[in-house]
Amino acid sequence: MRTFRIKIVHNEGLHARPASRFVSLCHKFISDIKIVNGDLTADGKNITEVLSLGIEKGDYLTIDIRGKDEQEAEIALKKLFSHRNFNMEKI
């Protein structure tokens, strides 16, 4: 299992466009990917669940990855989060 945290820094939080990019990237992996915001958890491969987390600026998210390609998924997601246009910072 791989786990890492990020902080949302974009004024609009995790709105539709970056959430869609996150979910699309998650679909490229066999591993189960969960995104946790406080007490709420969503399947990283389900856009409705991700958006239902109501992720806002300043929220700290935990990403849990479990499966055969978890290392590759972690690298790819961290790369996505570090991309300047994704408006998030790793913590």
> What's the pLDDT at 54?
94
CA nearest to 1, candidates 91, 73, 82, 61: 73
63 and 44 Cβ atoms separated by less than 8 Å: yes
How much is the pTM? 0.87
Instruction: Confirm if 23 and 55 have CB atoms less than 8 A apart.
Output: no
Mean pLDDT, contiguous 10-residue spans, the chain (91 residues): 90 86 96 97 98 93 97 94 59 47
**What is residue 66's predicted lDDT score, i.e. its pLDDT?**
98
Q: Domains plus CATH for the chain?
A: 2-86 (3.30.1340.10)
Determine whether 10 is an active site residue: no
Catalytic residue of the set 10, 15, 27, 83: 15
